[in-house]
Amino acid sequence: MPRYAHATVVWSYVKKGGDKRVLGPASQRRSGVEPITEPAGQGGRAHTLLLPPARPATRRTAASPFRFTTTVCGGAAAARSHHELPFSRQDFQPSITVSAENNGRQRQPCPMMSCVPAVDGSDEVCANCGTTASDTVKLKSCTACRLVKYCGVDCQRAHRKQHKKACMQRAAELKDEELYSQGHERPERDFCPICTLPIPIPMEEHSVLKACCMKRICKGCAMAALKRGMIDCPFCRTPLPDNDAGVLALLQARVGKKDPDAINHLGQEYMQGSLGLQKSMRRAIGRWMEAAELGSVGALYNLGVAHERGAGVGQDTAKAAKFYTKAAMQGCVQSRHNLGCFEGKKGNHNRAVRHFLISAKMGDKDSVEAIKKRFVQGLSTKEQYAEALRGYQEAVEEMKSHDRDEAKRLGY
């Protein structure tokens, strides 16, 4: 799936003269979304939008990849912020059901002893007929469980009834291993492109989304830019329109370039009926489906919420869980938290805590609270609560900056 574009952006020159002012980044685009170039005209400026370099492995020490000229541009309007996530987190507070407890369900050894493990190369035999692998007999693993091998489809079919239970159990375990081992890192979009630090959660409270470049800029960087007198977009320097039509035009331009995040965001505008658009959940869902196909993790989350609530689509918890799962495995913190809530509602507190531990360590306070509640009720261990708290605090430390503290202090 195409992911967000990365490009190195160096603000190279500001040229004034004739009827044109050109402010543009020299860049080496590497992949992904097309840059937008708009002509100068009517006092406007040509600009090329490009996206930031890939986040370095060591984020803490990474210097900002941007070199801004000290140009202050006049005109333009107040910054607009857009909420990326359309539903409130309160909707997902865990409801603890103390019922049939599924705690401590660990991986069990395969009970079907007739299923010969396929991993041991020395006695590679067909699980059905016992034929040994040779130059002429090639054995194929059961793709679902990889526990057994067969000499052919006939043997696989003949063995099916006997193997089914062990196969399904192992397949579920493999799926769980993936579910709980992937998505521990927040996605690219959760990082401010200017200071490169992860944005605190909930992100919409701690950042502003710019329709010009679809960049989510942390409030620390946004405020620092304002203090320097820059009222244009601090990332791409597009003057910000002061009306909905202008913002929508910027957004549509990104949508036209198949930017998944812009398409996702347009869906949210349809859902809210904002920017002069007629409210339509049907259209919102359509945009989210398109954005999800193009790789937007936020769109997967939105689709999860829509299916959970039955908003614009039939209510379908299983489908919602599928969307959340896909998003959580790509690092969507809210989706991970919601998966934990789903498991909690089913009484699977052990599974719930496993999810909450992941999202807590990614900086989600609600997940720490969810584990704390379970600890108080004896549904999670003291160690789990301590681990969640410690992980959360480390994540919070990582998200701190002088500018962010300042923005908070000033109530920005």
Footprint on this chain of Zn ion (rule: CB under 5 A): 126, 128-129, 131, 142, 144-145, 151, 155, 167, 192, 194-195, 210, 212-213, 218, 221, 233, 235-236, 238
> Which sign, positive or negative, has the C-alpha torsion 390, 395, 396, 398?
positive
Q: Which is nearer to Zn ion, 195 or 297 (CB)?
A: 195
Q: Which residues pair with 29 in a beta bridge?
A: 7
| Phi–psi pair at 138, nearest 5 degrees | -100, 130
CA distance 227 to 213: 21
Look-up of token digits 């081992």: 181
Give least dist CB 174 to Zn ion, A. 10
Q: Which is nearer to Zn ion, 59 or 279 (CB)?
A: 59
Angle (nearest 5°) at CA 73 between 71 and 74: 150
Q: CA of 82: how far to CAs of 79, 211, 247, 401, in Å? A: 10, 8, 11, 22
Q: Which is nearer to Zn ion, 118 or 339 (CB)?
A: 118
Give least dist CB 150 to Zn ion, A. 6
Give least dist CB 238 to Zn ion, A. 5
Give least dist CB 39 to Zn ion, A. 17
Q: Which is nearer to Zn ion, 221 or 358 (CB)?
A: 221
Look-up of token digits 């936020």: 298
Give least dist CB 330 to Zn ion, A. 22
Nearest to 221, CA basis, from 200, 209, 240, 207: 207
Q: Which is nearer to Zn ion, 101 or 154 (CB)?
A: 154
The 8-class DSSP code of residue 362 comes to T
Give least dist CB 170 to Zn ion, A. 7
Residue 86 and residue 264 in contact, taking contact as beta carbons nearer than 8 Å: no
CA distance 368 to 359: 8
Maximum distance among all Cα pairs of the chain, rounded to whole angstroms: 85
Q: Which is nearer to Zn ion, 145 or 299 (CB)?
A: 145
Q: Which is nearer to Zn ion, 188 or 316 (CB)?
A: 188
Give least dist CB 131 to Zn ion, A. 5
Q: Which residues pair with 38 in a beta bridge?
A: 47
